[in-house]
Amino acid sequence: MSPSATRQRLLAAARAELVERGHAAISLRAVARRAGLSHAAPKHHFHDRAGLLTAIATDGFAALTVQLRRVRGSSPEEHLARLGRSYIDFGLASPALFDLMFRPSELHPADPALQAAQAGALGVLGAAVSHLAPADPMSRDVPALALISWALVHGLVTLSRNGALRPAVGSGADDADDAELARRLGDLFSAYLAQALTREPPPPAP
């Protein structure tokens, strides 16, 4: 709870280990060593290994939320499209953190702080979609559309980092192409979504 200095030091060390050692092969003893503490120091602040990871994931959701809140768009459609792009960028910029955030088996999924942070991120998407089509006859499906949009961008991040999109992009593709394809697919989806909601002719393809 109280952000004691050593607790913060442990968290910083854990984040560093996370980004450089990659994925969740993160070791309590290694972060303690990096923080200059004894090997059981983490146990005191975060009861478990899962407890430490939960704290990091919670911070991750908070960071995602503020990043999404910063997004602006001249129209509701553009706003949603930029939100999706921002979400994709977040996932691709810090893959290890993003991975961890959606790995409930290694976290304490019932942790209230974690759930609150998670709900905060969804709230941004929900608000954006509800602004998109407030008077549309299908507006009762609007939360559903928020979830669909979320699932879409989330899936794009996952597949992109798996290289699963690569066969579609060509033989000489690299990671950057993969990421760019993910962004373009997100844009394309929001174009389709806007078209379906306004029932106007589709926008020119990118």
Partner DNA sequence: CCAGCCACTTGACAGTGTCAAGGAGTGGCG
Partner DNA sequence: CGCCACTCCTTGACACTGTCAAGTGGCTGG
Question: Among 33-41, 74-82, 169-177, 194-202, which window interacts with DNA (CB under 7 A)?
Answer: 33-41
Instruction: Give the one entry of a copy of itself, DNA, none that residue 174 binds, where binding means its C-beta sits below a cut-off of 5 to 8 angstroms depending on kind.
Output: none
User: What letter represents residue 206's amino acid?
Assistant: P
The single residue among 6, 130, 158, 195 that binds DNA, judged by CB under 7 A, is 6
Q: Which is nearer to DNA, 42 or 91 (CB)?
A: 42
Q: Contact between 26 and DNA (CB under 7 A)?
A: yes
Instruction: Give the one entry of a copy of itself, DNA, none that residue 135 binds, where binding means its C-beta sits below a cut-off of 5 to 8 angstroms depending on kind.
Output: none
Residue 113 CB contacts under 8 Å (≥ 6 apart), including other chains: 54, 58
Token representation of residue 135: 């008077």
Residues 50-89 that bind DNA (CB under 7 A): 50
What per-residue string of b and e applies to 19-36 under the rule 16 or more CB within 10 Å gives b? Answer: eeeeebebebeebbebbe
CA atoms of 132 and 118, how far apart (whole Å): 22
Residue 72, CB-side half-sphere exposure with 13 Å CA sphere: 1
Instruction: Give the one entry of DNA, a copy of itself, none that residue 154 binds, where binding means its C-beta sits below a cut-off of 5 to 8 angstroms depending on kind.
Output: a copy of itself
Residues that bind DNA (CB under 7 A): 2, 4-7, 26-30, 32, 37-41, 43-45, 47-50
